[in-house]
Amino acid sequence: MSQGAAFACLVYAFTVVMLGTTLPTPMYALYAKELDFSVLITTVIFATYAAGVLVALIGFGRWSDTLGRKPLLLAGALLAVVSALVFVTAGPVWQLLIGRFISGLSAGIYAGTATAAVIEAAPESWRARAPAIATAANMGGLGLGPLVAGLLVEYAAWPLHLSFLLHIGLLAVVLAGVTFVPESVQVQPGARPHVQRLAVPPEIRALFLRAAIAAFAGFAVFGLFTSVAPSFLAEIIGVDNHAVAGLIVFSVFAASAAAQILGRGLGTSTALVAGCTLLVVGTLVIAAALLAESLPILIVAALLAGVGQGISFSKGLGGIAEATPIARRAEVTSTYFVVAYIAISVPVIGEGFAAEHWGLRTAGIVFTLLVAALALIALVATVIAARRDAPVRVAD
């Protein structure tokens, strides 16, 4: 396979695997009606995916450095096939939990391995743009999942099955293509994979804390949209069109991807300030949309929050990586991702518990206010640090 074809194949594989991880989003309301479970169970099912991601990040995060990229890419794609098959045959809630956990394992493997593989396979003329393309494949896939599934659920037959059958077909192409992609890692005989260590060196802990708080707030918003947004639409705003639900979730990820690509030239502090400001505004607008029962306001909130998440997360990660010694970069970035995926899962379970006791609208408003407060803390801390580190001008 030529280098250009390998590059295109890996971008396709990254997009398709990540697409599958968000396919169930527009279906949660249907599952809840068919299996008679509450918003709390919906959030637990969603959070099980994040648990799978965390297990893969910590357990298999560095395996591709010793075993090679291809074995891990093929394993991740096969896990995605298994997850889709579980959903095609899904019945009770425990089966949905298993399907989501396996999907999380697939995503966790691909998050690091596919990013590295895409960058390494890029032709020389595309090398400078390869990280942005990897980002677009990752976030674009996450956004396309709800969009594709929402359209199929709303307008096609077999609402709980067709999306997963389509995904299996797309994954068959991934498996065939990745099989012929050249290996970019020189595998050493006898090399053994190991569990990823999590740690943050003392000299970058202040920067890491600011960036991690912003990442936590941004991914908590992602968790809210990808698990509870369809319930917001149906129960509060009165829109039960699954395609609309998928479109709103797509808009969050699309805005994040666009912001990450277009904001590459921003400095870390500037990006964190801008991103956290947009996160504060976006989450407050979500609360306003729930109070006003307004679809247009919710769409605006999704775009604002997505841009804020994209800028703050990507530049926070970049700033941390730049400040970290090369020998410790993998463990620090893994720690950063672990914080993010805890944020995408644990807070939404709290949202589910709150919805059981206070109602969906009140729980959603409280959730968004807490996330806004977190983003505001990161914003203030970044501004203080920027002023402290600014060079002092001496008068003539």
pLDDT digits (tens, 9 = 90+) for 91-149: 889 999 999 999 999 999 998 888 888 988 889 888 888 888 888 898 889 999 999 99
The label of the residue with tokens 């990745």 reads 178
Residue 154: predicted pLDDT:
94
pLDDT digits (tens, 9 = 90+) for 129-145: 888 888 889 888 999 99
Angle at 141 between CA 290 and CA 345, to 5 degrees: 50
Q: What is the Cα–Cα distance from 155 to 121, expressed in whole angstroms?
A: 38
Please state the separation of Cα 67 from the chain's center in Å: 25
CB 17, CB 297: distance < 8 Å: no
Residues 339 and 211 in one domain: yes
CB 107, CB 56: distance < 8 Å: yes
In a domain, 234, yes or no: yes
Residues 88 and 203 in one domain: no
Please state, as a whole number, how many other Cβ atoms lie within 10 Å of the Cβ of residue 89: 11
Residue 391: predicted pLDDT:
52
Angle at 16 between CA 14 and CA 19, to 5 degrees: 105
Classify residue 326 by its DSSP letter. G
Q: What is the Cα–Cα distance from 66 to 100, expressed in whole angstroms?
A: 27
Assign residue 36 a region (left: φ > 0; alpha: ψ between -120 and 50; beta: otherwise).
left
Residue 264: predicted pLDDT:
78
Tokens found for residue 142: 């996450």
* Sequence-separated (6 or more) residues with CB below 8 Å from residue 329: 321
- Report the number of distinct structural domains present in the chain: 2
Last residue of a domain, one of 182, 207, 232: 182
Last residue of a domain, one of 158, 182, 206: 182
In a domain, 343, yes or no: yes
Residues 174 and 213 in one domain: no
CATH for 168: 1.20.1250.20
Residues 364 and 261 in one domain: yes
Residues 318 and 382 in one domain: yes
In a domain, 190, yes or no: no
Please state the separation of Cα 22 from the chain's center in Å: 9
Residues 19 and 110 in one domain: yes
Model pTM score: 0.88
Residues 169 and 22 in one domain: yes
Residues 18 and 141 in one domain: yes
Residues 316 and 285 in one domain: yes
Residues 233 and 351 in one domain: yes
Q: What is the mean pLDDT of each run of 10 residues along the chain (396 residues)?
A: 90 96 91 88 90 89 83 95 94 92 94 86 86 86 94 94 96 96 79 78 88 91 90 90 93 92 83 92 95 95 94 85 76 84 88 91 94 92 79 44
Q: Can you point out the beta strands (E) in 250-318?
A: none
CB 196, CB 58: distance < 8 Å: yes
Last residue of a domain, one of 147, 182, 217: 182
Segments forming the whole domain that contains residue 169: 1-182
Residues 244 and 173 in one domain: no
Residues 231 and 283 in one domain: yes
Residue 158: predicted pLDDT:
93
Q: What is the Cα–Cα distance from 241 to 238, expressed in whole angstroms?
A: 9
Residue 115: predicted pLDDT:
84
